[in-house]
Amino acid sequence: GENVEQHPSTLSVQEGDSAVIKCTYSDSASNYFPWYKQELGKRPQLIIDIRSNVGEKKDQRIAVTLNKTAKHFSLHITETQPEDSAVYFCAVDSGYALNFGKGTSLLVTP
């Protein structure tokens, strides 16, 4: 199946700083790249997604960038807040489902 590498596995930032999480994938035919946020003990929820015909997408403090040539995409969170602390998963379409990265545990300290 689609190989999705996600880095870093843990990330600690101070409140107000920016956080960047990167994912690489192997299948050049992939066209859909969502990001999910999972708070402790909760279900994963979609926070932003991007499709292959777009290079960047923003939604308030979060943004995703996509480089199809290099086969990587990134999640950017600006002005981080303690409530951004969670595990973030990138995902890539595999033709029938989503393949997820292993997750990044983000800790935002006040």
Partner 1 sequence: DAGITQSPRYKITETGRQVTLMCHQTWSHSYMFWYRQDLGHGLRLIYYSAAADITDKGEVPDGYVVSRSKTENFPLTLESATRSQTSVYFCASSGLAGNTGELFFGEGSRLTVL
Q: Give least dist CB 60 to partner 1, A.
A: 18
Among 44, 62, 75, 84, binds partner 1 (CB under 8 A): 44
Q: Give least dist CB 63 to partner 1, A.
A: 18
- Asked if 75 touches partner 1 (CB under 8 A), the answer is no
- Asked if 45 touches partner 1 (CB under 8 A), the answer is yes
Q: Is 106:19 a contact under the CB 8 Å cutoff?
A: yes
Q: Quickly list DSSP for 33-88.
A: EEEEEE-TTS--EEEEEEETT-SEEEETTEEEEEETTTTEEEEEE-S--GGG-EEE
By three-state DSSP, how is residue 49 classified? strand
The CA radius of gyration of the chain, in Å to the nearest whole number, is 13
Q: Give least dist CB 79 to partner 1, A.
A: 25
Among 21, 34, 35, 80, binds partner 1 (CB under 8 A): 34
Q: Which of residues 48-67 bind partner 1 (CB under 8 A)?
A: 49
Q: Is 77:66 a contact under the CB 8 Å cutoff?
A: no
Summarize as ranges the residues that interact with partner 1 (CB under 8 A).
1, 6, 31-32, 34, 36, 42-46, 49, 89, 93-103
